[in-house]
Amino acid sequence: MNRPSVVLTQPAQRAGVLAESLRARGVDLVCWPMTSIGEVPGLDWPALSATLAGCRWVLLPSPGAIDVVMGALSQRELGWPAAVGVGVIGPGSREALERWRGRLAGLHAVQVLEPRRAPHDADALLAEPELASLSGVDVAVLRRADGREAWLQTLRDRGARLHAVSVYTAGDAVPPPDAEHWIAARAARDAPLAFSVASADAGARLGRFVDGLACAGWARGRPVLTQHPRIAEALVRQGWRRVERHPPGADGLAAAIESI
């Protein structure tokens, strides 16, 4: 059975690491980031670092948040403050954090809190007992500029002294110039192909791209691999006909590719 070629649509910071891991497993792939992420302009990182030093927990609700925050601190030679734990949403975020442990001073010994069961998201992180009672506890949430508000209110309701800071932005990205030819060549010979999609927004952008191709009907029928049930439901609504969920992290994605 032929293993499919895979299109990774994650932001470049995440896609590069995934590509390295998957290529080591023999997967043929291309990276078409459908989302671009970057620091919020003008953010005072030394002041933010001082705020984090007074917190018990810093919650990072996506791999993108981890890469931007750790990259910004490292670039400015600001280490991770002692005794400040990190909350992440699941294996993919833990993998992103692990890549920074040996590169950012103070991060190697940090306590990490993550959901023990699926679905791996912010709501599951809030269900962890360490975050059940936060009266008088300083908690920081470093997030996307347009991130969800409801779970921040949950932290306030539990008594946390909350520091919610928008640290990164996410914008539209488009496939590379050779993407149309690349996918058309595979459609012409009906070659195995799958898309890896980690957000509903990326799925929508990818859908608009393939809908403009002569092979749109064929592309819409290729497997779309994602890990979260809410993202899977959104992809189905967007018109993807073969949405398949997989366990989180690089290992989960690799297993899903093997099973196609």
> For 144-179, what is each residue's pLDDT tens digit?
877 678 889 999 999 999 999 999 998 999 999 999
* 3-state SS string for 79-94: CCCCCCEEEECCHHHH
pLDDT at 17: 82
| CATH class of the 5-34+173-259 domain in this structure | alpha beta
pLDDT at 175: 95
Ranges of each domain in the chain: 5-34+173-259, 38-170
pLDDT band at 1 (very low <50, low <70, confident <90, very high): low
Distances in Å between the alpha carbon of 216 and those of 66, 107, 134?
35, 46, 50
**CATH topology agreement for domains 5-34+173-259 and 38-170:** yes
Q: Which of 100, 95, 153 is nearest to 122 (CA)?
A: 153
Please provide residue 187's backbone torsions phi and psi, each rounded to the nearest 5 degrees.
-65, -40
pTM, full prediction:
0.85
pLDDT band at 187 (very low <50, low <70, confident <90, very high): very high
Segment 185-210 shows an average pLDDT of 96
CATH number for region 38-170: 3.40.50.10090
pLDDT band at 248 (very low <50, low <70, confident <90, very high): confident
pLDDT at 116: 82
Contacts of 173 (CB under 8 A, 6+ apart): 11, 33, 34, 35, 36, 205
Residue type, 113: L
- pLDDT tens digits along 107-131: 998 999 999 877 778 889 999 999 9
pLDDT band at 90 (very low <50, low <70, confident <90, very high): confident
